[in-house]
Structure 1
Amino acid sequence: MAARWTDDVAAPPSVAVAPELSPPAGGVLPVVAHLPGTLLEELRDRLRRTRWPREVPGTGWTRGTPVAALRPLVERWATTYSWRAVERRLDAVPQVVTLVDGQRVHALHARSHEPDALPLLLTHGWPGSTLDVLDLLGPLTDPVAHGGRASDAFHVVAPSLPGAGFSAPLAGPGWDHVRIARAWVVVMARLGYERFGAAGGDTGSVVSPLVGRVAPDRVVGVHVHASLDLPALTDQDERALTGSERDRVAWGRSRAAVDGGYAAVHATRPHTIGAALADSPVGQLAWVLDKVHDWTDPAHPDPLGGVDPDALLDLATLVWATGTAATSANLYLENRVAPAVALPRSDVPTGVALFPTDPSVRLVVSREHRITRWTELDRGGHFAAWEAPDLLVDELRAFFRSVR
């Protein structure tokens, strides 16, 4: 285990500030994640000196994140918010780094004390990070203490996507979804897991099935949620849609019509937007809030879906402090330019949890995957780990029960 740190003593080598950290060839290195106090003070200073933009009056959220939504969060960020509280939570979870194909990969590695726990690979999305899963680790690794059964226990491995968070710096171009999936298989082998489940949302809803496709002999099951991809529907498919499917597809099409600007920028000019976001923590927060507003449960009365404000500040702090705005967005460009890879239909058992903002259609998903569980939930949104962690944990337990 890596040594612990406090603010009163010199910190041990940290993945957050030591890009030269080099794990042994083919091995893993225990690490901690400690941001230097000087960087956090610079953050507070920049927040206090924010130069606010002028806006078109009376437009609310229709043109992006409004200053009225930003101001109270920035005030909290600059005064009472504590990144050290996040580090204490991270310090309670073993963390490792390893080099795969020249790329540094950071991962949370939370083992269960249950002897028959199933290894579970959890992949986050954008905007997101491994911080998203911190509230899931207790229920997943120690289900008895959280109202579950010992037989539902998992050993959880949650990597940071290449170029995101502490999986930085990005070693070079070419890190698309398929390459990440292949790297994840290597990471699991280095941690000693030959047989495991794969799950995730957003980017994780794409990478997790790919892990099952590139290593079908090792992946016992795949569970996904929070896909934003519109299904490719034929005219016959359109006629066969159920009422709930029509509503979901309609929401997805409406979102795509007004909400694609961020993705177009990421997929074409990640370095340009990255320069702005790396320099301005408030700009970084606004970029995140725009998506949280648009993708959280539309039935929730809170414009941000009831997401804990500190979770948003945790994410914005992580991205700004690690300087990974451009490299985390780079994945959109890589997938746009990546050569097509023909992969066979997956026969790995697959579960899908549909939260209210997921536009997936079972008929379409079934063409590429063997669906063994399909659940439509009436609460939560795209950010299930933040909005409805209880439902997400229940779904993971229920699905993987059938494939252990």
Structure 2
Amino acid sequence: MSATPGTAATPGAPEIRPFTFEFPEAELEDLRARIKAARWPEKETVADQSQGPQLETMKELARYWASEYDWRKAEAKLKAVPHFITEIDGLDIHFIHVRSKHEDALPLIVTHGWPGSVVEQLKIIDPLTNPTAHGGSASDAFHLVIPSMPGYGFSGKPATTGWGPERIARAWGELMKRLGYTKYGAQGGDWGAIVTDLMGAQEPEGLIGIHTNMPKVIPAAIDAALAVGNPLPEGLSLSADEQAAVEQLDFVYRHVYYAYMMASRPQTLTGLVDSPVGLAAFLLDHDAASLALISRSFAGVAEGLTRDDVLDNITLFWLTNTAVSAARLYAENKTSFFGINGVKLPVAVSVFPDELYQAPKSWTEQAYPNLVHYNRLPKGGHFAAWEQPELLVDEVRAGFRTLR
């Protein structure tokens, strides 16, 4: 049972307030003017994307963004769901809260990642809350809570250090308690997977299990070696799947330069809040598969993410001025991106082929002794809810089916 908007289910807790937003036309006109005034670099000196987003892609993105893209359509999609805000641990936390019409629905808190926002989850809201309209049964229904992480979207921007993923995980437990949910699940990808995994390790009251599409299963010795570019420990005997995962993670650790920059010098990224084209280029360059997918979308190939999908998210970053505040999460992080947290609760894992790495089932079973679901999907990448919502919805339903 959720709290009535404007009240708190937990006695003495800060109130839960309805949240509304509006961006004046003048801000959108300023955005378009800045895009049109962009100062461009020369073309890349290679024929691929090894130097980052290609000039052709960025120029087409800017042309479309300034002349054809309509933020008001994205705004309408966001406004079509209920928004709330509440203060937790001294910080305003924004969240979408959609209750299913099916009273036996399982509450589920879903967390986005970087460079994402609650825009990532919009496509999965109706299929999860209203399954009978999307090929599912009433027994698969969820009540959804989708928060904006601190420094992202409509949530508050921490003014002091300390808001790392462990603290966010604790705040999410408090949020679900405040909403009056005494039995619930958690789901996430990217940072959302890290926060969700930490929730699983913390075991807040009421959490019955988690679903992740970026599992944290890398054995400690292997993770420690790969993170600093050292050789693997001697004497390891790896299966073909494990060796493939090692090679994928080695590539990731050698190429996530954006993460190193945000982790060490987030304030150096001040230019991202001044140049929309600079912001877009930085947000596009998360991983090779996602960049390729997005580049194809701006070249006219319809698959996974559309041009509008991409620009909905980037425009929200711009309008909320959260490029640097979101980046600070990397500076706050003290945990491994892929290392084991010791989760004992039930865990469901979905492995998408274009994820940063494909988690071997052997490592997944070792990391999660209470593994209730493991599946490798035929397509999809790092932003599963955004790219392949139908597949992720099926996975979330299957993952929690035995836990209700």
Query: Which bracket does the TM-score occupy, shorter chain normalised?
Result: 0.7 to 0.9
**Partner of residue 359, structure 2:** 360
Q: Is the Cα–Cα contact under 8 Å of residues 84 and 96 in structure 2 kept in the other structure?
A: yes
Give the Cα–Cα distance (whole angstroms) in 1 for the partners of residues 216 and 30 of structure 2.
36
**Partner of residue 225, structure 2:** none
How far does the alpha carbon of each residue in 1:137-186 deviate from its partner, in whole angstroms, 9 at most, with x for none?
01000000001011000000010000011113324210011100000011
What code does the residue aligned with 2:266 have? P
TM-score, reference length from structure 1: 0.86
**Partner of residue 44, structure 1:** 32
Matched, 1:321 2:309: no
**Partner of residue 382, structure 2:** 382
What code does the residue aligned with 2:381 have? G
Higher alpha-carbon deviation: 315-324 or 246-255: 246-255
**Partner of residue 372, structure 2:** 372
Unaligned stretches of 5+ residues in structure 1: 1-23
Deviation at 1:306, TM superposition (A): 3.9
Give the Cα–Cα distance (whole angstroms) in 1 for the partners of residues 81 and 237 of structure 2.
49
How far does the alpha carbon of each residue in 1:92-118 deviate from its partner, in whole angstroms, 9 at most, with x for none?
100000111111110010110001000
**Partner of residue 17, structure 1:** none
**Partner of residue 266, structure 1:** 262
**Partner of residue 296, structure 1:** 290
**Partner of residue 402, structure 1:** 402
Q: Is the Cα–Cα contact under 8 Å of residues 137 and 156 in structure 1 kept in the other structure?
A: yes
**Partner of residue 83, structure 2:** 95
> Pairwise mapping of residues 3-402 of structure 1 onto structure 2 (< 5 A)?
26-226=14-214, 232=220, 233=222, 238-241=236-239, 243-257=240-254, 259-273=255-269, 275-291=270-286, 294-296=288-290, 302=296, 306-336=304-334, 345-356=342-353, 357=355, 358-369=357-368, 370-402=370-402
Higher alpha-carbon deviation: 364-373 or 346-355: 364-373
Q: Aligned with 1:125: secondary structure?
A: coil
What code does the residue aligned with 1:75 have? R
What code does the residue aligned with 2:248 have? W
Give the CA RMSD over aligned residues: 2.5
The change in CA–CA distance for 1:221 and 1:297 in structure 2 (over 3 A counts) is farther
Deviation at 1:216, TM superposition (A): 4.8
TM-score, reference length from structure 2: 0.86
The change in CA–CA distance for 1:265 and 1:152 in structure 2 (over 3 A counts) is same
Unaligned stretches of 5+ residues in structure 2: 1-11, 223-231
Q: Is the Cα–Cα contact under 8 Å of residues 105 and 162 in structure 1 kept in the other structure?
A: yes
Q: Is the Cα–Cα contact under 8 Å of residues 175 and 331 in structure 1 kept in the other structure?
A: yes
Sequence identity of aligned pairs in percent? Answer: 40
The change in CA–CA distance for 1:227 and 1:330 in structure 2 (over 3 A counts) is farther
The change in CA–CA distance for 1:385 and 1:297 in structure 2 (over 3 A counts) is farther
Q: Is the Cα–Cα contact under 8 Å of residues 229 and 359 in structure 1 kept in the other structure?
A: no
Deviation at 1:33, TM superposition (A): 2.5
